[in-house]
């Protein structure tokens, strides 16, 4: 049985790059401090505990992909995509909830550090790459994505998000990683 992933349609593909339209999502999110690399590890336990039963109904919620990380800031509110970005060394790390849940049907977290949030449909530029979860690879691929967006005439409408699809024990060369950048709506 596979892991449910974020639902999107591909508008354009160019090698490792895509423009996608994402369906609305509901996420569980927590804020942590630390470096780009540390944030995912620090946030994993409270989010995993939530889907493992640390919620009002004490029910389990299926794991989904990707786990995203984005710096915390005003763009995190309802308009921000799922991802990882940092402001003042604080990161918002999210687990996407299974698509059959809504904000109203999800059990409330028992940990005050975990919050539930709805993300509206959005259009995103994406680059996919494999390898380790490092700042160097993130920054190199973000630069590639921004350059590609420039050549395509695509304007960012928010901060980038870092999406990781595999468990930490997955060999580095088999890991699926993506950087997603919200796009302005086409005129």
Say whether pLDDT at 168 is over 60.
Answer: yes
From first CA to last CA, the distance across the chain in angstroms is: 41
Domains of the chain with CATH codes: 4-182 (3.20.80.10)
Q: How far apart are CA 88 and CA 16, in angstroms?
A: 31
Q: Are 58 and 50 in contact (CB under 8 A)?
A: no
pLDDT band at 133; cut points 50, 70, 90: confident
Residues near 135 by Cβ (< 8 Å), separated by ≥ 6? 35, 36, 37
pLDDT greater than 70 at residue 37: yes
pLDDT band of residue 155 (cuts 50, 70, 90) is very high
pLDDT > 50? residue 111 = yes
| Mean pLDDT of the region 53-65 | 89
As a whole number, the mean pLDDT across the chain is 87
Q: Decide the pairing of beta strands 177-182 and 122-129.
A: antiparallel
For 142, list phi and psi in degrees, rounded to 5: -65, -40
pLDDT tens digit sequence for 72-85 = 643 323 223 334 55
Q: State how far the Cα of 16 lies from the Cα of 10, in Å rounded to an integer.
A: 12
Report the distance separating Cα 91 and Cα 160, nearest Å. 12
Rounded to two decimals, what is the model's pTM?
Answer: 0.84
Are 87 and 71 spatial neighbours (Cβ–Cβ below 8 Å)?
yes
Confidence of residue 187 (pLDDT cuts 50, 70, 90): low
SS (H, E, C) the chain: CCCEECCEEEEEEECCEEEEEECCEEEEEEEEECCHHHHHHHHHHHHHHHHCCCECCCCCCCCEECEEEEECCHHHCCCCCCCCCEECCEEEEEEECCCCCCCCCCCCECCCCEEEEEECCEEEEEEEECCCCCHHHHHHHHHHHHHHHHHHCCCECCCCEEEECCCCCCCHHHCCEEEEEEECCCC
Tokens matching residue 124? 């995103």
Share of residues in the chain with pLDDT > 90 (%)? 60
- As a whole number, mean pLDDT of residues 91-111 equals 93
């Amino acid at each position: 049985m596979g892991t449910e992933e974020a639902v999107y349609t591909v508008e354009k593909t160019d090698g490792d790059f895509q423009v996608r339209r994402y369906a609305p999502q509901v996420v569980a999110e927590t804020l942590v401090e630390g470096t780009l690399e540390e944030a995912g590890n620090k946030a994993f336990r409270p989010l995993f505990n939530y889907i493992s039963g640390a919620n009002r109904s004490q029910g389990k919620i299926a794991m989904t992909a990707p786990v995203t990380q984005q710096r915390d800031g005003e763009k995190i509110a309802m308009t921000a995509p799922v991802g990882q970005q940092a402001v003042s060394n604080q990161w918002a790390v999210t687990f996407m909830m299974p698509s059959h849940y809504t904000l109203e049907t999800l059990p409330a977290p028992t940990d005050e550090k975990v919050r539930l949030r709805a993300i509206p449909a959005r259009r995103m530029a994406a680059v996919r790459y494999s390898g380790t979860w490092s700042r160097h690879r993130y920054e190199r691929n973000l630069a590639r994505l921004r350059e590609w967006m420039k050549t395509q005439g695509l304007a960012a409408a928010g901060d980038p998000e870092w999406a990781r699809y595999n468990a930490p024990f997955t060999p580095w060369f088999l890991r699926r990683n993506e950087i997603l950048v919200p796009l302005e709506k086409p005129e």
